């Protein structure tokens, strides 16, 4: 990981889950890390844990990526503290679990504001600095960015939009040295299902899956850091995720049925 020594990395949504695990992994690789989150207490608790790592240099910026001014603040405070930006990891995100016919449309707006616009805002203000370093912009997406998942209309829409945005950005910068990577972890042990919004826009509060059987956030983080080092284009994780994306290209109708049946079997499925 010597390629990352003294690199400055911004990770949004780093109070827990994949974001927090990524921050720790980048610190271990010798990076200076900026972590963001909406909850000041959770962010400070994560930072305290990270500071136990020898040589850790961390900046916390309390911010909501759905607010453009907050995203600009993240970049401004990073430059003021570290003087440059090498990597931006757009990780902040939220999910949902409800049938489109039942949900309040504010749910989809909230998901687009955080998952898509948060990525756009942060990338817009970080891009000039990252271009100076020929650095990396990373989008933490989902298999839902390749496949329309039932009960996740807003989530799939936001991730499809992220894919389109980052793909076009990559193409625009073929000759600038910018690295753009999209990572789709598949089902990962995290808090995202507990905070997923129901049809009324309230946090679900529980997960329909056995989280202990899923890929750990720490393992996902190792793939992401390695992907930045090797400047990979895309990463799709978990066997189920890889198979779903592959089969979706050739047998889309069959994958639709499988996705429907899988969601329908979940505890408290929106189809029940």
Q: How far apart are CA 62 and CA 37, in angstroms?
A: 5
Q: How far apart are CA 106 and CA 92, in angstroms?
A: 18
Q: How far apart are CA 46 and CA 138, in angstroms?
A: 21
The one catalytic residue in 125, 155, 187, 223 is 155
The DSSP 8-state label assigned to residue 116 in this structure reads I
- Distant-in-sequence contacts of 104-110, Cβ < 8 A, 24+ apart: 104/199, 104/200, 104/201, 106/201, 107/154, 107/197, 107/199, 107/200, 107/201, 108/153, 108/154, 108/157, 110/66, 110/154, 110/197, 110/201
Quote the Cα angle for 100-101-102, to 5°: 90
Active site residue 155: yes
Q: How far apart are CA 183 and CA 233, in angstroms?
A: 9
Give the position of tokens 């000039």: 128
The answer to whether 107 touches 65, Cβ cutoff 8 Å, is no
Q: How far apart are CA 14 and CA 112, in angstroms?
A: 19
Nearest Cα residue to 259 out of 152, 170, 150 = 150
Which sequence positions are flagged as catalytic? Answer: 155
């Amino acid at each position: 990981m010597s390629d990352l020594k003294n690199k400055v990395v911004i990770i949004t949504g780093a109070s827990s889950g994949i974001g927090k695990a990524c921050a720790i992994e980048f610190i271990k690789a010798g990076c200076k890390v900026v972590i963001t989150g909406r909850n000041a207490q959770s962010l400070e608790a994560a930072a305290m844990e990270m500071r136990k790592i020898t040589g850790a240099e961390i900046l916390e910026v309390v911010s909501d990526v759905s607010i453009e001014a907050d995203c600009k603040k993240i970049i401004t405070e990073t430059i003021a503290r570290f003087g440059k930006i090498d990597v931006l990891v757009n990780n902040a995100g939220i999910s949902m679990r409800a049938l489109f016919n039942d949900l309040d449309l504010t749910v989809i707006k909230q998901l687009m504001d955080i998952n898509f616009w948060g990525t756009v805002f942060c990338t817009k203000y970080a891009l000039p600095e990252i271009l100076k370093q020929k650095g990396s912009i990373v989008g933490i997406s989902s298999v839902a960015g390749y496949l329309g998942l039932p009960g996740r209309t807003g989530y799939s829409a936001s991730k499809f939009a992220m894919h389109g945005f980052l793909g076009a950005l990559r193409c625009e910068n073929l000759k600038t040295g910018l690295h753009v990577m999209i990572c789709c972890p598949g089902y990962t042990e995290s808090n995202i299902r507990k905070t997923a919004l129901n049809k009324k826009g309230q946090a679900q509060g529980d997960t329909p899956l056995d989280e202990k059987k899923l890929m750990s956030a720490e393992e996902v983080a190792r793939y992401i850091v390695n992907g930045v080092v090797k400047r990979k284009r895309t990463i799709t994780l978990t066997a189920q995720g890889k198979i779903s994306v592959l089969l979706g290209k050739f047998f889309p109708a069959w994958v639709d049925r499988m996705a429907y049946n899988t969601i329908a079997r979940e505890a408290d499925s929106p189809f029940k």
